[in-house]
Structure 1
Amino acid sequence: MAAPVNIIVGSHVWVEDPAAAWIDGEVFRINGQEVHVHTTNGETVVANMAKVFPKDTEAPPGGVDDMTKLSYLHEPGVLHNLAARYELNEIYTYTGNILIAVNPFQRLPHLYDTHMMEQYNGAAFGELSPHVFAVADVAYRAMINEGKSNSILVSGESGAGKTETTKMLMRYLAYLGGRSGVEGRTVEQQVLESNPVLETFGNAKTVRNNNSSRFGKFVEIQFDKNGRISGAAVRTYLLERSRVCQISDPERNYHCFYLLCAAPPEDREKYKLGNPREFHYLNQSNCYELDGVNDAHEYLATRRAMDIVGISEEEQEGIFRVVAAILHIGNVEFAKGEEIDSSVIKDEKSRFHLNMTAELLRCDAKSLEDALIKRVMVTPEEVITRTLDPVAALASRDALAKTVYSRLFDWLVDKINNSIGQDPNSKSLIGVLDIYGFESFKFNSFEQFCINFTNEKLQQHFNQHVFKMEQEEYTKEEINWSYIEFVDNQDVLDLIEKTFKNNKRFIKPKLSRTSFTISHYAGEVTYQADQFLDKNKDYVVAEHQDLLTASKCSFVAGLFPPLPEETSKSSKFSSIGSRFKQQFIHSGIWIGEKGDRFGQGKQLELKENGKSGIRIKDFYKTLADVREICHSP
């Protein structure tokens, strides 16, 4: 907040309002810490002096394009300024060198056409209206003129427009660093066309967003000495694997499933696909179509994008065989077998889908059946085969589907990177981080826990650079300034990374033994811990691995290469949490201690016990803490 202002009778102020968040009015009485206000909607409000903020009566009615121009930089002042600009379709506003974007929920093509790119090309930052192109331009100019690599962080709540903003940033960088009149697939074309491919397989409709990224993405664009794009790499994080098998109404599964069900008749016949309502992995929700989106057209657009990024016809065939197989396997159900704790294929319908899955994956149907309902244990004395009951068999089925889809997504990312190619001689690069937004749903599980933890880290980075380091610099330079209060979320990070005991940010609901609440910077979120441990597992069942490694389809077998002998014998546990941590480390997206740079765009050689680092410590310990919190096995 700005320096305290003396609020007196007659002052124009902002007070909290349950409907509008904040409403303005005039003070007509002050009684100690009680402030009596006549609001502009004709009501009388009594508020505590600490919750009353001065209104800038001289602010222009259309707002200011840079928040640093506001007389009072407090919450109601900031929100009112953004709302005033939004009413005029001004969706971008600066706060110094940070750009705030408010989702317009409509297409504004004139804001992003070639003419607009030409205007921002080389313009000084702040010279023109706030725009995402200006942010990309200043990063590019710094790289060219000063030899400085940069990263652009796109952060915000789920549905705020991060994915679209990222695409605009990449389009502008491709405009600046592209080659004119070059035949064939250029690097910049491949970089841009990688977006729709990854969105098809990594995005889905959620409650808040029709095209929600269910994975994190860091795009590293490399430039040659002339400022031309010479290579690129895409890093992805924490794909939401559970969505493959389980969705809530009115959400959807990943786009690719619906696109394939809307493919031309000859493709649907080839994969024995009909209406999406027929498939268990899709019909758990009543939502099958998106407003304004034609899945049949999107299927063809995805195939064209795959062509551009270098995915061959044969590989595309393999990709969609796998997608179809996942849909079919979701319709395989089980019934109790004759023996205790055993199961069999439920009926002829399930048998049909089992056979279709085997045909599409080019594996033996009996071997597939055994991999779903049997487990083999090898002891020094004998080989023991045990059967799974119907509930365990369903879990085995879903585990196979999630594993196959996860491997397919990883293959796509690797293929895109190999097709685009990286420039080993590049000294300059710009990174764009599009990370999942903060999430708070009716039911929140392990995915939301990881996503919100990531956002806490990004918020800490924001606080570090915008508030802490800036204010320390002012103090060091002995500049006269007013201290700006902000909510430091370090205690939330301490809660998750170190210990939950006696932390005021941790709340244990009284009526649930398997849930806990964390008071995040963006509000309280209650997590259901029931499936935390299962969702954190990151290993492939040996029977599933053996089945798919032996596939007669080279594409499927390539997703499951034979394991090294020592790995297959090892019982070392692998977790999603530890993999997530390693992805952040090895990609160079590493939020460091005070003063460290964020995402310098190169492979950072950091040791886990080094001084710098994100310190996403011991998810194992965190999960052990969750067990202790919830008193659950």
Structure 2
Amino acid sequence: MAASVNFAVGSLVWIEDPDVSWIDGQVLAITGDELKVQCTSDKTVVVKASSVYPKDPEFPSCGVDDMTKLAYLNEPGVLQNLKVRYDINEIYTYTGNILIAVNPFRRLPHLYDGHMMEQYKGAAIGELSPHPFAVADAAYRQMINDQISQSILVSGESGAGKTESTKSLMRYLAFMGGRSGNEGQSVEQKVLESNPVLEAFGNAKTVRNNNSSRFGKFVELQFDDRGRISGAAIRTYLLERSRVCQVSSPERNYHCFYMLCAAPPEDIKKFKVGSARSFRYLNQSECIELDGLDDPKEYLVTRKAMDVVGISAEEQDAIFRVVAAVLHLGNIVFAKGSEPDSSEPKDDDARKHLKIAAELFMCDEKGLEDSLCKRVIVTRDDVIMKVLDPVAATINRDALAKIVYSRLFDWLVNKINSSIGQDPDSKSLIGVLDIYGFESFKTNSFEQFCINLTNEKLQQHFNQHVFKMEQEEYTKEQIDWSYIEFIDNQDVLDLIEKKPGGILALLDEACSMFPKSTNETFATKLYQTFKDHKRFSKPKLARNDFTVCHYAGDVTYQTEFFLDKNKDYVVAEHQALLSASKCSFVSSLFPPLPEESSKSSKFSSIGARFKQQLQSLLETLNATEPHYIRCVKPNNALKPAIFENANVLQQLRCGGVMEAIRISCAGYPTRKHFNEFIARFGILATNVSNLSCDEVTACKNILEKVKLEGYQVGKTKVFLRAGQMAELDARRTEVLGRSATFIQRKFLTY
């Protein structure tokens, strides 16, 4: 609902439009509370004045670089500003201290070169055009000056450009904290080159994004007391295991599989692979080649990056042996065996792939077949060999492929961390978070549930820091301001993770009671428990689905594989087979289990472990000063020069950007303790040097001297409106410049 505004005939306005969200026009006549408006689309409409927003007649043709500079801070004005800037390739815009990045879906190399990094070095936020480099520089300067660890949270839905923004941040921080070229292979080089390695094994084409990160990543850069990068650690979250063996058009599996199939001939021969189209784990989708991705070239780039991060040639060969083995596993098709309910490789082709997989894993071929087609069941009194039918054997095969790939990915992360090394003496860090965006598809399973829990937690972090912290600070300082309500999502988080009784707790309970519990009984339990919860509902025609009302909208989840995907276990036969591999690399992925662990049948929950990881991440983030980059996907076609208003608006609303804009403008984004303020700006008012003057009076003297308006002085701090800090800094620079010139003149006269 628009705020109450007095319109006149001739006023420029925005009205709602079903096609483009908002359309501009001019008021032709006013009758009571109704306006007759001539739209720029030539149609004339009559609308309620309460639903209309004013439009700025002096809106700059190129827009404004900070939303808080808009004359009318409203939804259509924000949308117009982003679109105007996007049309001229100005893809970055501030909203106070938050950076909005609209994905251009094209390369703009001039924005990220070395010259551009030099420009942003030491420049205050707002001094130059909005840019991730400016955010990174602000984080770096605050860490150095205030000795407080920083974090930069990059968020947005899949395809919004989070990964590219993160790379820009990392490059800039490496530039600022880098060492001289003669100091050997540096920490920052290894951190940067970890990107192509992890992308090769953790990114894939999805419906919404050609290079979608299928895992979350938090990079901690550690700095020494000279501001140089001295260590780093990479934490990853929730790799999407199911993609390894299940992919449909128009998506792809992980990039590394296609790279290997496009490798040089000698590697094709060494790893016993062929065309990507010949492997079941890849050809389930019709999408094999990807526009803009040169798989043969990317294979070589990945190998080179592996060299830099300290993965030896022998280890690289072992890694790609495992990748190839996983592909061959997928081609082992099963048919009914000679015994009832048994299975065996279907034909000579299946046996060929079984043989090659065993050779690549360097394990016994018969042992591999048995581990796929049979299951050992240990009872209190006996050990029983149970044969598996073709369906069960196929599920067993896919389980092996998923656990092998997951262990391989974990090994890569651990190897990179070990190669980079951490600095135990570091007292300051900058963390950069690049984590999957909110997801809602036709089919949403356990992976989407965990991903959306992550986004709920991060949204709450955003809420707390951008809104709650602002409000609490103003109240504590006893300054006047307008209370602005915002939507809190604690009730959704309680629904999902509360113990006991939340969805995750009920899922763990169901998993621990297997086989008595099934996906159906789990769904029934949810319906009974949450039938009156305002954030939970049961779709009318679905038997086992449930809907959660997330901050970004309703998502319906299918419980079909929830129990299976929440269980973290390795089939005992797979563990025994691969821990005995003659390839030391393969056996290291499956170290012998402790005796008590191997005997225990206690269920281990992926959901519970992920929840703990999230808690640890948030504890780290809460100990830092956060900076935010909100990435926006302008269209679903992933094409340049298309700006879909409704799509963008939904992302701005879901990401809390609209609320952040309102509070940044109504509130005070900059605040300084009295002593800090005087130390920095005392030079602007000479009478401040009078020691009898108390701090409050001194601060007021400075502010009155420079004739700022709209600021407030609290109990311990000065509160400044958006843009006022930059104005004070500019005045300070002028005074310092005049003083330096005066001193130089005096010096030259002697």
Give TM-score, length-normalised by structure 2.
Answer: 0.76
Does 1 or 2 have the higher relative contact order (CA < 8 Å, sep 6+)? 2
Q: Offset at 1:503?
A: 2.7
Match of 2:85 in 1: 85
Pairing 1:213–2:243 present: no
* 1:516–1:380 Cα change, 3 Å: closer
Pairing 1:562–2:619 present: no
* 1:585–1:458 Cα change, 3 Å: closer
1: distance between equivalents of 2:57 and 2:581? 72
CA contact (8 A) 2:2 2:51 kept: no
Amino acid at match of 1:283: N
Match of 1:572 in 2: 602
The alignment partner of 1:154 has SS state of: strand
The alignment partner of 2:292 has SS state of: coil
CA contact (8 A) 2:3 2:50 kept: no
* 1:256–1:47 Cα change, 3 Å: farther
Match of 1:516 in 2: 546
* Equivalences for residues 24-173 of structure 1 within 5 A: 24-28=24-28, 36-47=36-47, 51-173=51-173
The alignment partner of 2:575 has SS state of: helix
Match of 1:425 in 2: 425
Amino acid at match of 2:73: L
Match of 2:668 in 1: none
Amino acid at match of 1:552: K
Q: Offset at 1:35?
A: 5.3
Q: Offset at 1:34?
A: 5.9
Q: Offset at 1:242?
A: 0.4
Match of 2:537 in 1: 507
1: distance between equivalents of 2:294 and 2:77? 42
Q: Offset at 1:383?
A: 1.3
1: distance between equivalents of 2:462 and 2:567? 31
2: distance between equivalents of 1:34 and 1:443? 45
1: distance between equivalents of 2:579 and 2:269? 27
Pairing 1:386–2:416 present: no
Match of 1:604 in 2: none
Match of 2:296 in 1: 296
Which segment is superposed worse, 476-485 or 418-427?
Answer: 476-485
Match of 2:339 in 1: 339
* 1:480–1:42 Cα change, 3 Å: farther
2: distance between equivalents of 1:18 and 1:524? 21
Amino acid at match of 2:108: L
How big is each residue's C-alpha offset from its partner over 1:311-338, in whole Å with a ceiling of 9 and x where there is no partner? Answer: 0011001100000000000011111123
Match of 1:318 in 2: 318
Pairing 1:528–2:562 present: no
The alignment partner of 2:314 has SS state of: helix
How big is each residue's C-alpha offset from its partner over 1:44-79, in whole Å with a ceiling of 9 and x where there is no partner? Answer: 345555543232233222211111112333322211
The alignment partner of 1:236 has SS state of: strand
The alignment partner of 1:281 has SS state of: helix
CA contact (8 A) 1:2 1:73 kept: no
How big is each residue's C-alpha offset from its partner over 1:531-585, in whole Å with a ceiling of 9 and x where there is no partner? Answer: 1111212111111111110111000000000000011111111122112122234
1: distance between equivalents of 2:531 and 2:35? 39
**Structure 2 residues not aligned, in runs of 5+:** 503-529, 628-750
Which segment is superposed worse, 464-473 or 81-90?
Answer: 464-473
Amino acid at match of 1:525: V
1: distance between equivalents of 2:319 and 2:544? 39
* 1:422–1:93 Cα change, 3 Å: same
CA contact (8 A) 1:215 1:238 kept: yes
* 1:63–1:480 Cα change, 3 Å: farther
1: distance between equivalents of 2:559 and 2:601? 25
The alignment partner of 2:168 has SS state of: helix
CA contact (8 A) 2:244 2:405 kept: yes
Q: Offset at 1:11?
A: 4.1
CA contact (8 A) 2:14 2:24 kept: yes
Q: Offset at 1:409?
A: 0.1
Q: Offset at 1:19?
A: 2.0
How big is each residue's C-alpha offset from its partner over 1:465-490, in whole Å with a ceiling of 9 and x where there is no partner? Answer: 22232134334445444444543333
Pairing 1:405–2:405 present: yes
The alignment partner of 2:280 has SS state of: coil
Q: Offset at 1:27?
A: 4.1
* 1:415–1:588 Cα change, 3 Å: farther
Aligned-residue RMSD, C-alpha: 2.1
Q: Offset at 1:341?
A: 1.9
Q: Offset at 1:10?
A: 4.9
Which segment is superposed worse, 10-19 or 326-335?
Answer: 10-19
Which segment is superposed worse, 254-263 or 11-20?
Answer: 11-20
Amino acid at match of 2:329: I
Match of 1:434 in 2: 434
2: distance between equivalents of 1:213 and 1:370? 35
The alignment partner of 2:286 has SS state of: coil
The alignment partner of 1:145 has SS state of: helix
The alignment partner of 1:158 has SS state of: coil
The alignment partner of 2:283 has SS state of: coil
Q: Offset at 1:507?
A: 3.1
Q: Offset at 1:121?
A: 0.5
Amino acid at match of 1:522: A
CA contact (8 A) 1:26 1:39 kept: yes
Match of 1:245 in 2: 245
Match of 2:264 in 1: 264
Amino acid at match of 2:331: N
* 1:494–1:378 Cα change, 3 Å: closer
Match of 2:678 in 1: none
Aligned length in residues? 597
Match of 1:537 in 2: 567
* 1:421–1:588 Cα change, 3 Å: farther
CA contact (8 A) 2:151 2:625 kept: yes
CA contact (8 A) 2:139 2:150 kept: yes
Match of 1:621 in 2: none
Q: Offset at 1:270?
A: 1.8
* 1:80–1:86 Cα change, 3 Å: same
CA contact (8 A) 2:547 2:555 kept: yes
Q: Offset at 1:495?
A: 2.9
* 1:75–1:518 Cα change, 3 Å: farther
Q: Offset at 1:38?
A: 2.9
2: distance between equivalents of 1:123 and 1:89? 22
CA contact (8 A) 1:588 1:599 kept: no
The alignment partner of 1:530 has SS state of: helix
The alignment partner of 2:560 has SS state of: coil
2: distance between equivalents of 1:289 and 1:394? 27
* Equivalences for residues 467-616 of structure 1 within 5 A: 467-498=467-498, 500-587=530-617
How big is each residue's C-alpha offset from its partner over 1:425-445, in whole Å with a ceiling of 9 and x where there is no partner? Answer: 111111100011112222221
**Structure 1 residues not aligned, in runs of 5+:** 601-633
CA contact (8 A) 2:2 2:53 kept: no
CA contact (8 A) 1:315 1:555 kept: yes
Amino acid at match of 2:380: P
Which segment is superposed worse, 118-127 or 438-447?
Answer: 438-447
Amino acid at match of 1:14: W
Which segment is superposed worse, 547-556 or 42-51?
Answer: 42-51
Match of 2:741 in 1: none
2: distance between equivalents of 1:479 and 1:73? 23
1: distance between equivalents of 2:425 and 2:482? 47
The structure whose residues are more often helix, as a share, is 2
The alignment partner of 2:452 has SS state of: helix
Which segment is superposed worse, 526-535 or 39-48?
Answer: 39-48
